[in-house]
Amino acid sequence: MSEFVSFKIDGKQCMGRAGEYITEAAERNNIYIPTLCDYKGTAPKASCRVCTVKVNGRVMTSCTTPLQEGMEIENETAEIQDIRSGIIELLFAEGNHLCPSCEKSGSCELQALGYRFRMMVPRFPYLFPVREIDASHPKLIKDHNRCILCKRCVRVMKDEKGRSFFAFYKRGAKLEITIAPELADKITDEVAQQAMDVCPTGALLKKRKGWDVPVGKRLFDMKPIGSEFEQVK
Positions touching ligand SF4 (CB under 6 A) are 97-99, 102, 104-105, 108, 110-111, 146-153, 177, 198-204
Among 173, 215, 222, 232, which residue sits at the site for other proteins (rule: CB under 8 A)?
Answer: 173
Sign of torsion, CA 46 52 58 63? negative
- d(Cα 224, Cα 53) in Å, to the nearest integer? 21
Residue 33 CB, shortest distance to other proteins, in Å, is 14
HSE-up (13 A, CA, CB side) for residue 13: 2
- H/E segment holding residue 16: strand 12-17
Residue 149 CB, shortest distance to ligand FES, in Å, is 11
Would you give the DSSP letter of residue 67? Answer: P
**38 contacts which partner out of ligand SF4, ligand FES, other proteins, none, CB within 5 to 8 A by kind?**
ligand FES
Residue 26 CB, shortest distance to ligand SF4, in Å, is 23
Q: Are 102 and 145 in contact (CB under 8 A)?
A: no
- d(Cα 216, Cα 130) in Å, to the nearest integer? 32
Q: Which stretches of the chain bind other proteins, using CB under 8 A?
A: 44-49, 52, 59, 61, 64-66, 79, 82-83, 86-87, 90-91, 93-94, 123-125, 127, 148-149, 151, 159, 161-175, 178-183
